[in-house]
Amino acid sequence: MQLTDAFGRTIKSLRISLTNRCNLNCIYCHREGETRDIKNEMSAGTIANIVRASQVFGVRRVKFSGGEPLMRDDFEEIIKALPDLKDISATTNGTLLAPRAQSLAESGLCRINISLPSLSPEKYRKVTGGEISRVLAGIDAAVDCGLVPVKLNMVLLKGINDAEITKMMDFICRYEGKIILQLIELMDFRETGNYKVNINEVEKFLESKASEIKERAMHRRKKYFIDGVEVELVRPIDNSHFCANCNRLRVTSDGRLKPCLLRNDNLVDVNNKEPEEIVELLKLAMDKREPFYKG
C-alpha cells in the first residue's frame, strides 16, 4: 500500500518541521512555509506516531527541518523514538551543531544538510545575523562524526553570494568527497525579489565546467561533477518538473500534514493522534495534494 495522490505522485519521504524557533534571522528564509508563531510543538511521541503511520505506506525516509531543529533540546530523544528507517537526515544552520554532532550521530541521525550562504564572515553576518566560525566548526564536527555526505545548502542571492560559487567549490574540495554543494534558487517569500539570480546563467556556468552531469529522480535535480566536487542545482520556481516529481509530505511543527510548501489552506491536523487514526488522515492529505506549478 502506497500514498499516491491523484497526479500519480507517491510519497517517499516526510519533511518534519520540529520548531518554528530559530537562533538566526536569515533575510531569505521561507520557514518551511510556516507563517505564524507556533507554540505547541509536537512531542517526540507524536512525531514517532506520524512516522510509524507513514511506514504502513512504505515511507522509510525522514528529514527534520524548522525553524532550527537544534533549538529542540530533545532532538536526540526524537530521533531515538523513531521506528527503524532507511534514512534520517536534518537541515540545520549548523551554528549549534559542533557540541551535538556526536550525540546526534549516536542517536541514529544518518546525514545532515548545513545552510551556508557565504564564506565571508561579514556577508554571513549580514545575511543571517550569526557567526560563521560556529558553522565551520559544525561542518567539521559533522564530517568527523560521519554525518556524510554533508550537503552545504547555498541559497543564491544576487549581489551577495552569486560570485562565490567557485570559492565555495574550492572550499568543499578540501573535504575529499564528504561534502556536496547544493545551490538553491531563491523562493521569494519575503519580498526578496531583488536578490533573485538568473538561474539559467548559473546552469550554463555549471554545464560549461562539468565533466559529467547526472539527473536525480527527486525533482529532476541536476548534479554536476566539476574538478572532483559534486554540485547539485535545486530549481523550485516555475518548475513543473519540481512539482510533478515531488515525493515528500511536510509536517508542520504543531503536527499538521502540509501537502505543499507553497500552500497553507489544505493542512490536516494529526497532533496527539494515535497511529491508526493518522493512517486515515494521511490518506485524506493525499486527496488534498496537487502540484503548485502544473506542466
Query: Which spans of this chain sit near ligand SAM (rule: CB under 6 A)?
Result: 22, 28-32, 65-66, 68, 91-93, 113, 115, 153, 155, 184, 186-187, 189
> Can you tell me the distance from the alpha carbon of 282 to that of 27, in angstroms, rounded to the nearest whole number?
33
Measured from the CB atom, is 181 or 279 closer to ligand SAM?
Answer: 181
Cα separation, 104 vs 191, whole angstroms: 35
Rounded to a whole number of angstroms, the minimum distance from the CB of residue 189 to ligand SAM is: 5
- Among residues 30 and 111, whose Cβ is nearest to ligand SAM? 30
> What is the nearest approach in angstroms of ligand SAM to the Cβ of residue 76?
17
Minimum CB distance to ligand SAM, residue 96 (Å): 10
Q: How far is the CB of 95 from ligand SAM (least distance, A)?
A: 9
CB of 114 to ligand SAM, least distance (A): 7
Nearer to ligand SAM, 13 or 91 (CB): 91
State the Cα–Cα distance between residues 266 and 285, nearest whole angstrom: 8
Nearer to ligand SAM, 41 or 68 (CB): 68
Residue 219 Rama label (left phi>0; alpha psi -120 to 50; beta):
left
Residue 108, Cα to own-chain centre: how many angstroms? 18
User: 203: how many CB neighbours lie within 10 A of its CB?
Assistant: 17
Q: Measured from the CB atom, is 249 or 286 closer to ligand SAM?
A: 249
Residue 274 burial (C-beta neighbours within 10 Å; 0-12, 13-18, 19+) = exposed
Backbone angles phi, psi at 104, to 5 degrees: -70, -40
Nearer to ligand SAM, 29 or 206 (CB): 29
User: CB of 248: closest distance to ligand SAM in angstroms?
Assistant: 13
User: What's the rounded Cα separation, in Å, for the pair 198 and 220?
Assistant: 19
Cβ neighbors of 160 (< 8 A, separation 6 or more) are: 117, 118, 123, 126, 127, 195
* Residue 7 CA: distances (Å) to CA of 3, 51, 96, 221: 11, 23, 40, 20
